[in-house]
Amino acid sequence: MRKFFGYKEETPCEKCDGPRVGIDCDDDYYVVAGRLEVLLPTCDAKPIPYTYGNEAYMAALKPCPKCGGKRFFDFAPKYGSGSLVFCVNAETPPGRKLVRLPGCPHCRVEAHNYFGLSD
């Protein structure tokens, strides 16, 4: 499975001046025609801290008590030992969604196994 690291707004295409977005996956980097839209949170559930990872995992299997959405957990070393459980609809900072746009053939760029992108 490929690991996804995020999106990055890129410079406009030199040929058609259309907006472009970079997609960082593993050791590969793709630039495609598109723009990013901000997804605003729809749930006000706060992250729940857990001391033990198995408790967080079990809590993440249950739906959010406020909105019924899926939950996930992440290790939280900056909060001390343990994990935090988040609702996907209350993600902070807000998530971003890629909206693909038709572009010219020069809008797409790929870089594979680039040294600067190695994990």
Q: Where are the domains of the chain?
A: 1-38+96-119, 41-93
Strand partners, 111: 29
Chain mean position to CA 81 = 24
- Report pLDDT for 84: 76
Each residue of 22-36: pLDDT tens digit?
888 777 888 889 888
- Report pLDDT for 70: 81
Longest dimension (CA), the chain: 53
- Report pLDDT for 66: 83
The mean per-residue pLDDT over the stretch 87-108 comes to 77
Of 16, 18, 30, give the one whose Cα is nearest residue 7: 30
Tell whether the torsion through CA atoms of 14, 16, 18 and 22 is positive or negative.
negative
Element (H, E) at 53: helix 53-61
% residues pLDDT > 70 (the chain): 78
pLDDT band at 117 (very low <50, low <70, confident <90, very high): very low
